[in-house]
Amino acid sequence: MKNYKIAIHSCLFQFKTCIFVFQFKMSRNMTTIIPNEIQQIAQDTYRAVRQKCVANTAITVLHIADEYSFMANGANAEKPDNVWLFEIGTEKTAREFFIHNPPTAGEVENAIQVVEDKVMPLHKLLTIDSNLYTLDACILEIAEVSAFEESEQGAILSIQDMEHAFTRLAAIISGRPASQDILPTTNAFAATLLILREVMHHLRFNNITIC
């Protein structure tokens, strides 16, 4: 009986340890305390997108800023049900990972690993079957140098066309002259495309609408 109780306590300890590790990883990858200013930007952005969407449908709004990114998700017309903040952004990611211009393959791989670790936890938290939207000019820039479809809500960039743009960037990184493509040559553009790619792939969005 004594050994049985010890075994139970050991299992409970291991279970609590696993929970602690999971919570630590979540807090490390996503910022749990969101400044009021960013909360307000997220709510305003969500409401602006919501006005262009069918009522009572779940949406997810992506915003990639210079020093941070956030995703807001919900079906409510007035405010999102959830807002998640990430310590990745156009300038921040480019500054922290890309030493060269264009960045090297190794620099891109390191950035991909970090961005992937940050966005992956949302896979089980997002509303099922929500559509992805943005108001970002930096994402519209990606669509404008790719193929996209026009809709009443805005430009629709598919995951296939986004991936094709990334393949073109990879070719330039591998040595193809940048002058042979119309892709912007800034590292901030590369960082934006990388972040968008990881979001669409790992959170399984087939397209993004730029309103």
Under CATH, domain 34-210 is a member of which superfamily?
Answer: Exopolyphosphatase. Domain 2 (3.30.420.150)
Give the per-residue pLDDT at 8.
31
- What pLDDT does 27 receive? 39
Cα within 13 Å of Cα(62), Cβ side: 28
- The Cα–Cα gap between 124 and 26 comes to 12
Give the H/E segment covering residue 82.
strand 82-86
Q: Distance from CA of residue 10 to its chain's centroid? A: 38
CA-based angle 167:151:149, to the nearest 5?
25
Sign for the pseudo-dihedral over CA of 30, 87, 190, 158: positive
β pairing state of 69-74 and 59-64: antiparallel
Under DSSP, the state recorded for 182 is -
d(CA 180, CA 163): 18
C-alpha angle 170-175-178 in degrees, rounded to nearest 5: 75
Looking at the chain, list the stretches that DSSP marks H as alpha helix, in order from N- to C-terminal side: 2-29, 36-50, 90-97, 105-119, 137-144, 159-173, 187-202
The token pair at 33 is 């305390």
* Assigned token pair, 132: 């992805």
Tell me how far apart the 2 most distant CA atoms of the chain are, in Å. Answer: 76
> The pTM is what?
0.85
Whether residue 61 contacts residue 133, with contact meaning beta carbons closer than 8 Å, is answered with: yes
Task: State how far the Cα of 71 lies from the Cα of 205, in Å rounded to an integer.
Answer: 13
Token couple for 49: 């997108």
pLDDT in the model for residue 31: 61
Local mean pLDDT, 10-residue blocks, the chain (211 residues): 37 33 41 87 96 88 98 92 96 98 97 96 86 98 96 96 98 95 97 98 96 95
Is the Cα dihedral 200, 67, 69, 154 positive or negative? negative
Assigned token pair, 43: 């709510």
pLDDT score, position 53 = 86
In angstroms, the CA 182 to CA 180 distance is 7
